């Protein structure tokens, strides 16, 4: 009898202990899912930005089977051909576009001032559509084919949009749409504070002029945050962001940033170059955002390659280009030309083998998308 009574008292105690444990665990997980937060007050410039406890929060709003809505935001000049954007929206019912013409103030979509290159367009879109964002917003330049697009997507902007995995963007909040590190990664810009040029060489000032002004610009934009030691991400300001990530920053802050672009003494080019290496910090809290190139292709575009084979391809390409330059300088009469050309052919055949692998991966992704 006493034994039964003891058991009857013990069981509720065990249930109470379990319930207490799960309540504590739930609260702890809730805290882990918190990202950057801001006060709603709107000072002239942003106050200190809080840190990011986790770079990979749970998907905020999507659920299995839901079609992700996307908007492609493009900055263009009047003479730029953006028919590729029109074709994309025709082919994808879940994609809309917002093409801004920066040098025509009578255009349907334009900007208050043509300054800062693509920055003015990106900030204007966010400000004007803050409460009506699609799940994912892609920010891109107007050129259909460009060197700064991805090599294995044929340097084609349209292919980058078609192959982009929007759920990856939603899951991570931010994705630089260029996978290749050069230029931009790693350890790309060491901001200089003050009026000097620090340890920058003449080549640095020519190739990375923003390094000399970024430190002072940072202090104006983010006065409560220390100037980073280094800022890096793949160039060239083309990226995708989830709606939740955009809205973690109050709309007024984006207005403040746009005001800075409009009124800074930096010219059109430099004010834009400054922001090229700030976006990743704004949306992820990371000063250096340089994911492995193969991870970017695989997770961001569904194109998965063996890292060793991937690296081997680029080593072959580098050697082939070097030898081709030597052949040009030698002239056809040089007796070494024949041997060099033979080596170049070997390298090109090896490279073609990897390119065939790439095309197979692309075909698999297309077939899978068609079957869904």
pLDDT digits 0-9 by tens, 252-295 = 999 999 999 999 999 999 999 999 999 999 999 999 999 999 99
109 within domain boundaries: yes
Query: Domain containing 250: what range?
Result: 70-300
- Asked, for residue 270, whether it belongs to a domain, the answer is yes
Residue 178, token pair as written in the block = 């260029």
Of the candidates 240, 268, 300, which is a domain's last residue?
300
Q: Tell me, what's the pLDDT at 62? A: 35
Dist. CA 185–CA 204, nearest whole Å: 15
pLDDT recorded at residue 52? 36
Within this chain, do residues 260 and 360 fall inside the same structural domain, yes or no? no
| Whether residue 349 sits in one domain with residue 251 | no
CA neighbours closer than 13 Å in the CB half-sphere of residue 351: 17
| Residue 4 belongs to some domain of the structure | no
- Same-domain pairing of 199 and 317: no
Contacts 24+ apart (CB under 8 A), 351-354: 351/313, 351/316, 351/317, 351/320, 354/309, 354/310, 354/312, 354/313
Judged by average pLDDT, the poorest of 34-38, 128-132, 278-282, 296-300 is 34-38
Residue 244 and residue 354 in one domain: no
pLDDT for residue 43 is more than 50: no
* Distance in angstroms (rounded) separating the CA atoms of residues 165 and 295: 13
How many domains, the chain? 2
195 located within any domain: yes
Clarify whether residues 258 and 169 are in a common domain: yes
Residues 170 and 236 occupy one common structural domain: yes
pLDDT of 11 reads: 52
Give the alpha-carbon dihedral of 170, 171, 172, 174, to 10 degrees: -10
CA distance 83 to 98: 13
Same domain, 266 and 358: no
Identify the pLDDT of residue 193.
Answer: 67
pTM, two decimal places? 0.81
Provide the percentage of residues in the chain whose pLDDT is more than 70. 78
Residue where a domain terminates, one of 300, 330, 345: 300
Cα–Cα dist 274/227, whole Å? 13
| Same-domain pairing of 290 and 349 | no
Residue 45 domain-assigned?
Answer: no
Q: Are residues 228 and 365 in the same domain?
A: no
- Show the tokens assigned to 239: 């990226």
More confident call, 119 vs 194: 119
Tell me whether residue 138 is in a domain.
yes
Q: Tens digit of pLDDT for each residue in 47-79? A: 434 433 333 333 333 334 358 999 999 999 999
Look over the chain and give the mean of its residue pLDDT values, rounded to a whole number.
84
Instruction: Determine, yes or no, domain membership for 5.
Output: no
Averaged pLDDT, 22-29: 39
At which of 300, 320, 346 does a domain end? 300
User: Is residue 286 domain-shared with residue 311, that is, in the same domain?
Assistant: no
pLDDT tens for each residue of 322-361: 999 999 888 777 778 889 999 999 999 999 999 999 999 9
Same domain, 291 and 234: yes
What would the pLDDT profile of 129-185 be if each residue is shown by its tens digit?
999 999 999 999 999 999 999 999 999 999 999 999 999 999 999 999 999 999 999
How high is the pLDDT of residue 25? Answer: 39
Whether residue 79 is found in the same domain as residue 173:
yes
């Amino acid at each position: 009898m006493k034994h039964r009574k003891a058991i009857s008292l013990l069981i509720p105690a065990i249930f109470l202990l379990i319930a207490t444990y799960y309540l504590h665990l739930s609260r702890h997980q809730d805290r882990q899912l918190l990202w950057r937060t801001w006060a709603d007050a709107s000072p002239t410039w942003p106050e200190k930005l809080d840190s990011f406890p986790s770079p990979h929060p749970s998907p905020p709003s999507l659920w299995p089977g839901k079609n992700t809505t996307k908007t492609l935001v493009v900055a263009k000049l009047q003479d730029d051909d953006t028919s590729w954007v029109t074709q994309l929206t025709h082919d994808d019912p879940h994609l809309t576009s917002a093409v801004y013409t920066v040098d025509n103030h009578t255009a349907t979509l334009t900007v208050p001032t043509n300054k800062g290159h693509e920055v003015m367009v990106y900030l204007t879109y966010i400000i004007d559509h803050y409460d009506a964002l699609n799940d994912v917003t892609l920010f891109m330049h107007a050129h259909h084919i460009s060197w700064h697009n991805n090599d294995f997507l044929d340097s084609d902007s349209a292919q980058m949009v078609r192959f982009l995995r929007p759920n990856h963007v939603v899951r991570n909040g931010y994705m630089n749409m260029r996978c290749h590190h050069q230029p931009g990664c790693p350890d790309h810009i060491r901001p200089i504070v003050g009026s000097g040029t620090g340890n920058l060489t003449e080549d640095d000032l020519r190739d990375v002029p923003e390094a000399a002004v970024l430190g002072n610009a940072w202090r104006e934009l983010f006065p409560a945050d220390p100037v980073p030691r280094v800022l890096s991400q793949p160039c060239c300001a083309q990226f995708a962001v989830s709606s939740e990530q955009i809205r973690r920053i109050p709309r007024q802050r984006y207005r403040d940033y746009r005001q800075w672009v409009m009124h800074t003494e930096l010219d059109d080019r430099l004010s834009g170059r400054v922001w090229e290496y700030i976006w990743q910090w704004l949306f992820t809290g990371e000063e250096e955002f340089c994911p492995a190139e193969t991870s970017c292709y695989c997770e961001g575009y569904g194109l998965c390659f063996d890292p060793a084979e991937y690296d081997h391809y680029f080593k072959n390409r580098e050697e082939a280009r070097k030898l081709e330059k030597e052949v040009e300088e030698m002239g056809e009469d040089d007796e070494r030309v024949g041997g060099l050309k033979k080596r170049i052919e070997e390298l090109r055949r090896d490279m073609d083998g990897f390119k065939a692998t790439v095309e197979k991966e692309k075909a698999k992704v297309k077939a899978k998308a068609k079957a869904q």
